[in-house]
Chains A and B, each alone.
Chain A
Amino acid sequence: LIRQRDISSFFPEI
């Protein structure tokens, strides 16, 4: 299974 991660999970929210 190939999954596409949410881009926002890689960067901190400011």
Chain B
Amino acid sequence: MFEARLIQGSVLKKMIDAIKDIVTDINLDCSSTGISVQAMDSGHVCLVLIELGSDGFEPYRCDRNITLGLGLKALSVVVRCANNDDSITIKAQEGTDNINFVFESPNGEKTSQFEIKLMDIDSEHLGIPDTEYDSVVKMPSHEFQRICRDMSQLGDSIVVACTKDGIQFSASGDMGSGKINLRQSSLVDKEEDQINIELNDPVHLTFALRYLNYFTKATPLSPTVTLSLKAESPLCVTYPIGDFGSMKFFLAPKIDD
């Protein structure tokens, strides 16, 4: 038996909105410690990794490790039927080919139940090692969204460069070019408005803006985002989910041949 109740059902809605343009099917890997999802886009350019600890759910019950394959289209249709302040309970019995969703309003007056057929999704599982990054930049998520949106008006690619002077985003195309520089904040009122730049080594990488713009669909999940960069390695864009999980996007850099 698997059962997990998320008090803030809106978090699940936001997670699905964040990935539905990148992946079509996902496996929910459920264990006693929580739920994880690993999925690649059809072109194998990026990888999505969602990790949700069991402490984010009340109750959480997972008697045996179970993998639940779901089509995102169906999942998206179902969670859209939940109100933002509803709790969402996910239930699956061993040996059945369905997953159940129960939505409950805060006062308990309205409950809704939906069922989705499980799918058998064949996906390769990759090991994501702990990496020592050259630079780790934490910034307001809406700022990153704005930069990606603005730069995509100029070109298809963005160059991200971290130096002791800060982080620079640049793009160029037929129309012209643009550069945006961010420096580490000195004094800000709210921690979420802070720009924090950790630099071990200067780093300079190029990425496809199309994918970064997909990733910024996760902006409603968190006021902050972290960009982890390493030479000739995938960029890791991390959105924390409350204090119990995260959504990470890995994007392979573009390489000059």
Given A7-B40, A12-B127, A13-B124, A2-B157 contact (CB < 8 Å):
yes
Contact across chains for A5 and B252 when beta carbons are under 8 A apart: yes
**How many contacting A-B pairs (Cβ < 8 A)?**
58
Q: What CA separation (Å) do A7 and B245 show in the bound complex?
A: 23
Is there an interface contact between B127 and A14, defined as CB atoms closer than 8 Å?
Answer: yes
Segment 144-167 of B: residues with Cβ below 8 Å from A: 157
Complex Cα–Cα for A5 and B251 (A): 9
Q: What is the bound-complex CA distance between A7 and B69, given in angstroms?
A: 22
Q: Contacts of A7 on B, CB cut-off 8 Å?
A: 40, 44-47, 234, 250-252
Contacts of A11 in B (CB 8 A): 47, 126-129, 250
Contact of B45 among A4, A13, A14 (CB under 8 A): A4
Q: Once the chains are docked, how many angstroms separate the CA of A14 from the CA of B36? A: 15
Task: Report the interface size class on chain A.
Answer: 10 to 19
Please count how many residues in chain B sit with their CB below 8 Å of the partner chain's CB atoms: 24
Say whether B174 faces chain A, with CB atoms less than 8 Å apart. no
Is A8 in contact with B124, judged by CB distance below 8 angstroms? yes
Distance between B36 CB and nearest chain A CB, rounded to angstroms: 13
Interface centre among A5, A6, A10, A14 (most CB of B within 10 A): A10
Q: Is B127's CB under 8 angstroms from A13's CB?
A: yes
Task: Give the nearest-CB partner of B233 in chain A.
Answer: A10
Q: Which of A10, A13, A14 contacts B252 (CB 8 A)?
A: A10
Measured CB to CB, the closest approach of chain A to B205, in angstroms, equals: 12
**Residues of chain B in range 107-157 having any CB-CB distance to chain A below 8 Å:** 124-129, 157
Residue B253 interfacial (CB < 8 Å): yes
| A10 adjacent to B234 (CB under 8 Å) | yes
Does B208 lie at the interface of the complex (its beta carbon under 8 Å from any beta carbon of A)?
A: yes
With A8-B40, A11-B47 as contacts: A3 and B125 at CB distance below 8 Å = no
* Contact with A6, one of B157, B252, B254, B256 (Cβ below 8 angstroms): B252
Q: How far is the CA of A6 from the CA of B40 in the complex (A)?
A: 10
Closest to B251 in A: A7
Across the interface, B254 reaches (CB within 8 A) one of A2, A9, A10, A12, namely A2
Question: Ordered nearest first, which 5 A-B pairs have the shortest CB separation?
Answer: A11-B126, A5-B252, A6-B44, A14-B127, A1-B257
